[in-house]
Chain A
Amino acid sequence: MSTVKATRPLGPPSRLRRRFKPVKLASFITLLLTTFLMLLPLFFMVSTSLKSKREMLKFPPTFLPESWAWSNYTDIFETLQFGTMYKNSLIIAGLSVLGTLLSSALVAYGFARYRGRGNNFWFILLLSTMMLPYPAIMIPQFVLFSKMQWIDTFLPLIVPAFFGSAYNIFLLRQFFSTLPEELFDAGRMDGCGELRMWRTIALPLSAPALATVAIFAFIYSWNDLLTPVLYLSSSDKFTLPVGMASLTSSRFRIPPWHLLMVASVLAMVPIVTLFAIAQKQFVEGIVLTGIK
């Protein structure tokens, strides 16, 4: 959409516009087809979520449900402790976003605005942590948290977010580096402390980048399966992905795909909402950080 808008002011006057129309129409149709293709799995997800257990087994599968089983949407709350899991996931993801934003923005600010001895060394060290696969640190980290008596609590899922993550720090550092030095000089002249400059100058100007980081952090935490599986053991503490993985866990039963689709539809809601709210910032964030 934005590309269409951007070309219009530069575009030729009305006489020429007509000549461009077939091309536009073709691209419009292509877009429409791709959109349709992209939406098809999504459509099947919603459609399956409204089928009865018996209909779900049918081959060839029905396109639309024969009888609309709206009760699936209430059944899920009985099959799984869906409400509790949803709440747990929201708490963990919410606090993770907060932690990631605070810590990563602070560290990134430091890397972007200070020049000191070994600056690059530390930054490279930080980035190299990105190359460590999770399984490599899985057991040592588990031993650490288990000695801190954090097993079967949310802490191992939330606290690490408050200690920054390399990718987000990198992303924010790149953004902070683009802010003109003059702004901070002005702040300094007005007697602003570093923390205050971070809070009142750097952060408000970086809304797009922060929105990007927030969405990434949210999606990461929301989708994470392995960490909650390792650290949580009681079902009243489980998160949504654990509950959903458990739905297909039985080797002996036909998985209740219709309920899994219900769970998936409902699990999408926060991400879609978040994206809708932050869309403008998000797209800007990708454009800005991506280009520079």
Chain B
Amino acid sequence: MKKIVKSKRTAILLTTALTAMLALSGCGGGKSAGNVAAGGSGAGNTSGSGEQVTISHYTIDSEDRTFIEKLIPDFEKAHPNIKVKVEKAPYEQFDSKLQTLIAGGNSPDVTSHYGYGGFAEYYNKGMLLDLTDLIKEDGFKAEDYNIPENLMKIYTVNGHTYGIPVNMYVTLMLYNKDMFDAAGVSYPPSDYEDKSWTFDRMVEDAKKMTLVSDDIAKTQYGVDFTWAERDMRPLYFGAEPYSEDTWTNGGVPSETHFDSPEVIAAYQKLFDLVFKEKVSPTSEWSKSVAGQNGDPFVAGKIGMSIGGSWNLAGANDFPFKIGVAAVPWGGNDKVRSTLFVDPLLILKDSKHPKEAFEWIKYLMTTEVQEKSIALSGGNPPVNTEAAEVYYKHFDGIDPGDVKKVYEGAVKYGYESYNHLITNYSQINDMFINELQPVETGHKTLEEVMPVIQKKVTEIIRR
């Protein structure tokens, strides 16, 4: 009898403890999932009272992203009431973990669109906190942090700001100096104002370096022109596949023109590099040669490669001498480079938006942005003053060239579609699948583009 009583007591104790635990944690969870305005103002009050809060920064688990961990000690010293915790996930799992965290009431405070999903997708899902009031209250000015005003506009929708730009990657041309020397071709210019540097001249140069042989080890191509995401490529030749209103209303185009003659002609010009001029590799060849590295340029098999400026970060490891050049003029007087501007975002479910904003401001200061370049292994800052340090970061590449290429890219740059169009990860997957038969030469653009046009329309309406 005594035994039963005893076990009963422990049972009751246990149940109470469990209920209490559930109730307590349930409370927190409920609040975070509840309305945001209340959470926001509540956090404002707590920071005033000097209460200790912990904010979390969710990022990709790779050295060029997790370097922020090394910046935390200094920040915490300056802000004794704020602790920063870095949460991370591998690239492939970034989006699914973020969705689960938010759905589970464990939303991180600060993050960026580092996964497959872009800004517009987050915005349209209502995941982002409107920073406009925070910015006003704080007196934050982009110019104090040397952030160009036009970059701030990228993450402003209908006059409301949703993100602060932190890194800016551009599209540029990398070239293999060894291959140019061997073919006796002069190096391409890094100056965007050099009018002789056109798409057609690039093709001529590429022809001199292309060598197709039965021996796959000896084969090399002059150019690999994979400018931006597949749906963005027509823009380079001046054809616009999405209607103008896309960029002003949160990334939902009212019309798309993927079956228009201009767009098809633009794609044709790119595929001609492979199938008509034969100066670019087929996708199969690239895959077999590049293997695990995914980029035949890195293997030293390509003369010129259009790509993101992130390729520069690995340049010190390439087994050949490398230079940077401007993207040649292709018929669009305004756009010759894609910009990939990564913002820092505060999520709607953040419990401490004010403290999160303090952390963001800290990451934007010139001193920290300069420090971040080396710590990250070469992330390009948006801070124009820190950028001077960035230009000098790469061994064996002339800082003057890097600077010219960057400045030209900003002048002739267009923000990447993947940040600006809704449901972008689905659009991108669809493009990769549908264009595949064209890339392998099994179908023509005239067959494929109407299908793409139909599918894009469907995805956007989702």
Known contacts A229-B93, A242-B90, A250-B64; A143/B105 CB under 8 A: yes
List CB contacts (< 8 Å) of A198-251 with chain B.
225-226, 229-230, 233-235, 242, 245-246, 248-251
Select A257's contact among B292, B301, B313, beta carbons within 8 Å.
Answer: B292
Task: Tell me the chain A residues, 131-174 only, with Cβ under 8 Å from chain B.
Answer: 138-139, 142-143, 146-149, 151
Q: Which of B25, B64, B65, B97 contacts A149 (CB 8 A)?
A: B25
Is A253 an interface position by the 8 A CB rule?
yes
Contact B319 A142 (CB under 8 A): no
1/0 contact string of B55-67 vs chain A (CB within 8 Å): 0100011111110
B110 at the interface (CB under 8 A from A): no
B29 contacts A by Cβ under 8 Å: yes
Q: List B55-111 residues whose CB lies under 8 Å from chain A.
A: 56, 60-66, 85, 87-93, 96-97, 99-100, 103-106
Q: How far is the CA of A252 from the CA of B307 in the complex (A)?
A: 11
Contacts of B300 in A (CB 8 A): 57, 59
B292, A226: Cβ atoms closer than 8 Å: no
Contact B89 A229 (CB under 8 A): yes
Looking at B61, B63, B289, which has the most chain A CB atoms within 10 Å of its CB? Answer: B61
CA distance A234 to B85 in the complex (A): 8
Q: Does B5 contact A (CB under 8 A)?
A: no
Pair A235/B88 contact, Cβ less than 8 Å: yes
Instruction: Tell me the residues in window 242-278 of chain A with beta carbons closer than 8 Å to chain B beta carbons.
Output: 242, 245-246, 248-255, 257
Contact indicator A250/B298 (Cβ below 8 Å): no
Q: Specify which chain A residues have a CB less than 8 angstroms from the CB of B97 in the assembled complex.
A: 229-230
Kindly list chain A residues whose C-beta atoms are within 8 Å of the C-beta of B61: 235, 242, 245-246, 249
- Given the known interface contacts A58-B319, A59-B217, A151-B106, the answer about A233 and B87 at a Cβ–Cβ threshold of 8 Å is yes
A60 interface residue per 8 A CB criterion: yes
Q: Is the CB of B291 within 8 A of A61?
A: yes
Q: Could you say which residues of chain B place their CB within 8 Å of the CB of A254? A: 293, 295, 298, 314, 317
Cβ contact within 8 Å between B91 and A54: no
Q: Does B93 lie within 8 Å of A245, measured CB to CB?
A: yes
Closest-CB distance, B69 to chain A (whole angstroms): 8
Residue of A nearest to B61 (CB): A246
A147 touches B60 (CB 8 A): no
Residue with the highest number of chain B CB atoms closer than 10 Å, among A146, A242, A248, A252: A252
**Chain A residues with Cβ under 8 A from B56's Cβ?**
233
CA A138 – CA B93 in complex, angstroms?
13
Nearest CB in chain B to that of A59: its residue: B299
CB pair A147 B25 closer than 8 Å? yes
B90 and A146 contact, CB distance less than 8 A: no
Contact between chains at B62 and A59 (CB < 8 Å): no
What residues of chain A lie closer than 8 Å to B90, measured between beta carbons? 225, 229, 242, 245-246, 248-249
In the complex, the chain B residue whose C-beta lies closest to that of A254 is B314
Closest chain B residue, CB of each to CB of A252: B310
Minimum C-beta distance from B64 to chain A (A): 5
What chain B residues lie within 8 Å of A229 (beta carbons)? 89-90, 93, 96-97
**A229, B308: Cα distance in complex, Å:** 28
| Complex interface: chain A residues within 8 A of B291 (CB) | 59, 61
Residues in B neighbouring A138, C-beta threshold 8 A = 96, 100
State whether the Cβ of B37 lies closer than 8 Å to any Cβ in chain A.
no
Question: Given the known A-B contacts A58-B299, A147-B25, A148-B21, are A253 and B100 also in contact in the complex, defined by CB atoms under 8 Å?
Answer: no
* A246 near B62: Cβ-Cβ < 8 Å: yes
Number of interface residues of B (CB under 8 A): 51
Q: Are B22 and A147 in contact (CB under 8 A)?
A: yes
Residues of A within 8 A of B169 (CB): 252
In the complex, whether B26 has a CB less than 8 A from a CB of chain A is yes
| Chain B residues closer than 8 Å to A59, beta-carbon distance | 217, 289-291, 299-301
Give A59 to B100 CA distance when docked, in angstroms: 41
A256–chain B nearest beta-carbon distance, Å: 10
B4 interfacial by beta-carbon distance below 8 Å: no
Chain A positions within 8 Å of B318 at CB level: 57
For residue A264, give the distance in angstroms from its CB to the closest CB of chain B. 13
Residues of A within 8 A of B299 (CB): 57-59
What residues of chain A lie closer than 8 Å to B21, measured between beta carbons?
Answer: 148-149
Question: 1/0 per position for B274-317, CB-CB distance to A under 8 A?
Answer: 00000000000000011111010011110000001011011001
> B169 to nearest A CB, angstroms?
8
Contacting residues, chain B, for A58 (C-beta < 8 A): 299, 319
Q: Residues of A contacting B93 with CB < 8 Å?
A: 225-226, 229-230, 245
Contact A245 B104 (CB under 8 A): no
Give the complex CA separation of A40 and B450 in angstroms. 45
Query: Given A245-B92, A250-B64, do A57 and B293 touch, yes or no (CB 8 Å)?
Result: yes
Asked whether B310 lies within 8 Å of A251 as measured between CB atoms, the reply is: yes
Q: Which residues of A contact B106 (CB under 8 A)?
A: 142, 146, 151
B26 and A250 contacting across the interface, CB-CB below 8 Å? no
CB nearest neighbor in B for A225: B93
CB neighbours (8 Å) of B104 from chain A are 139, 142-143, 146
Q: Which of A48-78 contact B (CB under 8 A)?
A: 53-54, 57-61
Q: Quick one: closest A residue to B301, CB to CB? A: A59
B377 at the interface (CB under 8 A from A): yes
Residue of A nearest to B89 (CB): A229
Question: Can you name the residue of chain A whose Cβ is closest to the Cβ of B169?
Answer: A252
Report the minimal beta-carbon distance from A52 to chain B, rounded to whole angstroms: 10
Contacts of A53 in B (CB 8 A): 317
Considering the complex, which residues of chain A in the window 103-154 have a beta carbon less than 8 Å from any beta carbon of chain B? 138-139, 142-143, 146-149, 151
Cβ-defined partner of B217 (8 Å) among A60, A230, A253: A60
Q: With a CB–CB cut-off of 8 A, which chain B residues contact A148?
A: 21-22, 25
CB interface residues, A 175-213, toward B, < 8 Å: none
Q: What are 23 A-to-B residue pairs whose CB atoms are below 8 Å?
A: A54-B317, A57-B299, A57-B300, A57-B317, A57-B318, A59-B299, A139-B100, A142-B103, A142-B104, A143-B29, A143-B105, A146-B29, A147-B25, A148-B21, A149-B21, A233-B85, A233-B87, A248-B91, A249-B92, A252-B169, A252-B311, A253-B313, A253-B377
Residues of A within 8 A of B (CB): 53-54, 57-61, 138-139, 142-143, 146-149, 151, 225-226, 229-230, 233-235, 242, 245-246, 248-255, 257
Starting from the known contacts A57-B299, A245-B61, A252-B314, 6 additional A-B residue pairs (CB-CB under 8 Å) come to: A225-B90, A233-B56, A233-B88, A250-B60, A252-B64, A255-B293
Residues of B at the A interface (CB closer than 8 Å) are: 21-22, 25-26, 29, 56, 60-66, 85, 87-93, 96-97, 99-100, 103-106, 169, 216-217, 289-293, 295, 298-301, 308, 310-311, 313-314, 317-319, 377
Please provide the 4 A-B residue pairs with the shortest distance between their CB atoms, ordered closest to farther: A252-B310, A245-B90, A250-B62, A249-B62
